[in-house]
């Protein structure tokens, strides 16, 4: 698991209340996106690239957004739901 290795991955706003917007230069290389809680439980999975990721279903708190690429790399970003 790599944190912030791919610098061309941006997400905003963070903290978010409804939706996160992902900005990835090579969006076609994204295979899956997962949101997990602090215990590692997957709460939501998206297949392929999603520009807008809903966080409205989450309770306020800290989560992780895992972006898995076709080459096997995974980038993890901390996200805050408020």
- 45-73 pLDDT per residue, tens: 999 998 999 999 999 999 999 999 988 88
pLDDT for 4 equals 46
Mean pLDDT across 1-29: 80
> Mean pLDDT over all residues of the chain?
89
Does the pLDDT of residue 6 top 60, yes or no?
no
The Cα 76–Cα 11 span in angstroms is: 11
Does the pLDDT of residue 38 top 90, yes or no?
yes
pLDDT for 53 equals 95
Nearest-10 Cα torsion for 68, 64, 40, 76 = 40
Mean pLDDT across 21-47: 92
**Is the CB of residue 33 less than 8 Å from the CB of residue 67?**
yes
């Amino acid at each position: 698991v790599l944190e912030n290795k791919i610098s061309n991955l941006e997400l905003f706003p963070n903290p978010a209340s409804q939706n996160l917007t992902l900005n990835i230069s090579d969006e076609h290389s994204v295979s899956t996106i997962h949101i997990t809680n602090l215990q590692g439980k997957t709460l939501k999975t998206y297949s392929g690239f999603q520009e807008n990721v809903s966080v409205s279903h989450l309770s306020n708190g800290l989560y992780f957004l895992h972006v898995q690429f076709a080459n096997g790399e995974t980038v993890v970003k901390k996200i805050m739901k408020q």
